Amino acid sequence: MANVAWIGLGVMGYPMAGHLQAAGHTLTVYNRNAAKAEAWVAAHGKGTHRATPAEAARDADLVFTCVGNDDDLRQVTTGPDGAFAAMKQGAILIDHTTASAGVARELYAEAQSRGLAFIDAPVSGGQAGAQSGKLTVMCGGDADAYATAEPAIRSFARAVRLMGPAGSGQLTKMVNQIAIAGLLQGLSEAIAFAENAGLDVAAAIDTISKGAAQSWQMENRWQTMHDRRFDFGFAVDWMRKDLGICLEEAQRNGSKLDVAALVDGYYGEVQEGGGGRWDTSSLIARLPSNKR
């Protein structure tokens, strides 16, 4: 069991840290809103919280971060109050933020210069996966650091894999988000079409989900999409952040993301309609349907 620091107790980080605690690790937590860190410690009955990332990371073997974006990640890792300033030699920072591959490579190099290790390890599975401990984790970094960190990561993962050198985890997460964007738009159009055609939507989905159209999104979201319920899951605001990262990376590597760019614009329409905190399945809300 390791001494672990956890930095960032949002909707994902809060339950993920809890799984590490339940697995027997000793946790020290930090959150920008200190009340959230205090609440986490109280809810789990043990562990401690600290006032800065550096203080939380001081004696840790493994430091986990799960924050909002590149700038948030730099803020909690670098500078006098950042985790890097206090981490002991040989300690490993595992970052679960969905961020750019560029910042992952930047922080990997900074960690190396300090005698530390850095793994970019974004996750897929959303809030439900974090709560159930069944996330998919895509990692980039050195094999020896990954081998050390993997058992702890498995506390909240059903699948975890080293994808390559620094930045490879973030690039794989981009692949994931590109695939999901097109899939959700297709599912939205399919459900709205079934509604307009007067079909029994439940029967239609039950039938096609046993064929080539089957997907996790279909099995887990078709009913809430049909009911126009979007108050759960991964928010549109965060998906647009992720798709922005994908589109920027595509410009650098020469990829053509026509569908992802189109769906990003559709999510912009959902935001303009007040749905920024709705689940990503809310793409159906912008489509005409005789159900309404």
pLDDT digits (tens, 9 = 90+) for 128-174: 999 999 999 999 999 999 999 999 999 999 999 999 999 999 999 99
State yes or no: pLDDT of 95 exceeds 90.
yes
Residue 291 is predicted with a pLDDT of 74
Q: What is the pLDDT of residues 8-23, one digit of tens each?
A: 999 999 999 999 999 9
The residue annotated as part of the active site, out of 173, 241, 256, 291, is 173
Please report the DSSP string for 179-234 in residue order: HHHHHHHHHHHHHHHHHHTT--HHHHHHHHTTTTT--HHHHHHHHHHHTT--SSSS
State yes or no: pLDDT of 292 exceeds 70.
no
Which residue reads 């498995």 in tokens?
A: 154
Whole-prediction pTM value? 0.95
- Spatial contact of 141 and 165, defined as CB atoms under 8 Å apart: yes
The pLDDT confidence band at residue 1, using thresholds 50, 70 and 90, is: confident
Please, what is the average pLDDT of the chain? 97
Nearest alpha carbon to residue 122 among 113, 135, 134: 135
Instruction: Read off the pLDDT of each residue in 109-137 and give the average, rounded to a whole number.
Output: 96
Q: CA-to-CA distance for 27 and 46, rounded, in angstroms?
A: 8
Nearest alpha carbon to residue 69 among 122, 28, 139: 122
Nearest alpha carbon to residue 21 among 8, 32, 6: 6
Q: CA-to-CA distance for 75 and 122, rounded, in angstroms?
A: 18
User: Does 256 qualify as catalytic in the annotation?
Assistant: no
